[in-house]
Amino acid sequence: MKKFFSFPELINEPAARLVASGVLLMSLISIGLIRLEVTFVLIILSVMVYGFLVRVLFGPKVSPLALVVTKILVPKLNFEEKLVPGPPKRFAQSIGLVFSISILTLWLIGLNVMSIVLLSILSAFAFLEAVMGYCFGCKVFKFLISVGLIPEQICEKCAVYEY
């Protein structure tokens, strides 16, 4: 049971980039739907919140997007595995969770412009990860370790890993 509720120590970077591509796609679709005031956006935003939540809590084990990526896309596309430290990726997913909850809440109370602003920021970060392999959350995580706000023991690999 403890293993199920744990986050992987190492993450396959191509898989993380494909998950970010899915988040980018959902964010862009949501922006379009919010602008058109289509209520289907509730489903997409809820799926985004759920996805971030389960990736933070369990890693890719129960995230529909991560499962599609890790079980279908990565094997079919034959990407070379590149393992990176997991804790910074979990931190980045936590940031995505805060953003997605905020976006959904703002949309539910009718603050569509603010929802679009946050979706645009989330899209930019997802784009950086998906296209360029630049994980902003990972950079923030490493900075927080360097200033002592996150103990090095949380991710000993992060102290030597170059982001």
Give pLDDT, residue 73.
92
**Contact criterion met (CB below 8 Å) for 9 and 85:** yes
In a domain, 118, yes or no: yes
- Enter the pTM of the model: 0.90
Residue 104: the pLDDT is: 97
Whether residue 154 lies inside any domain: the answer is yes
Using DSSP's 3-state secondary structure scheme, residue 148 falls into: coil
The pLDDT score that the predictor gives to residue 62 is 87
pLDDT digits (tens, 9 = 90+) for 107-133: 999 999 999 999 999 999 999 999 999
Residue 37 domain boundaries: 10-160
19-70 tens-digit pLDDT:
999 999 999 999 999 877 778 899 999 999 999 999 999 888 889 999 999 9
| Residue 3 forms part of a structural domain | no
Tally of CA atoms within 13 A in the half-sphere of 114 that contains its CB: 13
**Counted domains in the chain:** 1
Q: Would you say 74 and 12 are in contact if contact means Cβ atoms under 8 Å apart?
A: yes
In a domain, residue 86? The reply is yes
The reply to whether 4 falls in a domain is no
Helix (H, G, I), strand (E, B) or coil at 38: coil
Domain annotation covers residue 139: yes
Residue 2 placed within a domain:
no
